[in-house]
């Protein structure tokens, strides 16, 4: 891969703009090997140039990037490892800047809701679960959302009882 990275850097430095299969395959390899920092930087460049994935991928670069990162992030979370900062950093693009199928940004919000739920950060979890459900009704956060609302209400009641302001 180093020789291909060198080629891609020379291409970027040249300020040329043409459909560049090597650049696109390097982009794919970076995501396949979980080199997300470099991959995201190259994805931004490729998007700015209007580069396209090979036909067999049947999607554009933003969709590819969003899918690759959320697939990895969900696996990381399931393995009890943090998928951050990639999920939070991509959220403004995934849920706003990029035109994606609603299920993709819903998956980001669901995962961020799960992370907040595990931290017992009820307001953040509720926010993300509500947005996930708003984007894609069948995302499967209803029970968690209800549980978070109950936990938040209980925490507020406990706080008010401690302040004497029931």
Number of structural domains found in the chain: 2
Cβ atoms of 133 and 141 within 8 Å: the answer is yes
| 51 and 70 fall within a common domain | no
Q: Looking at the structure, tell me whether residues 66 and 12 fall in a common domain.
A: no
Q: Are 129 and 109 in contact (CB under 8 A)?
A: yes
Q: Per residue, what are the HEC states of 25-92? A: HHHHHHHHCCCHHHHHHHHHHHHHHCCCCCHHHCCCHHHHHHHHHHHHHHHHHHCCCCCCCHHHHHHH
Distance of CA 147 to the CA centre of its chain: 24
pTM of this prediction?
0.91
Same domain, 68 and 8: no
Same domain, 30 and 78: no
pLDDT of residue 164: 64
What are 10-44's pLDDT values in tens digits? 999 999 999 999 999 999 999 999 999 999 999 99
């Amino acid at each position: 891969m180093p020789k291909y990275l060198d080629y891609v850097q020379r291409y970027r430095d040249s300020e040329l703009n043409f459909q560049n299969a090597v650049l696109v395959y390097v982009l794919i390899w970076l995501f396949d090997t979980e080199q997300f920092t470099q991959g995201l930087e190259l994805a931004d460049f490729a998007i700015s140039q209007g580069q396209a994935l090979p036909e067999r991928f049947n999607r554009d670069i933003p969709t590819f990037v969003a899918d690759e990162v959320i697939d990895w992030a969900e696996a990381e979370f399931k393995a009890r490892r943090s998928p951050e900062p990639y999920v939070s950093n991509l959220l403004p693009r995934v849920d706003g800047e990029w035109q994606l199928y609603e299920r993709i940004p819903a998956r980001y919000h669901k995962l961020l809701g799960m992370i907040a739920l595990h931290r017992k950060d009820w307001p953040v979890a509720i926010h993300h679960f509500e947005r996930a459900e708003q984007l894609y009704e069948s995302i499967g956060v209803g029970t968690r959302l209800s549980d978070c609302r109950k936990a938040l209400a209980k925490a507020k009641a406990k706080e008010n009882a401690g302040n004497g302001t029931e």
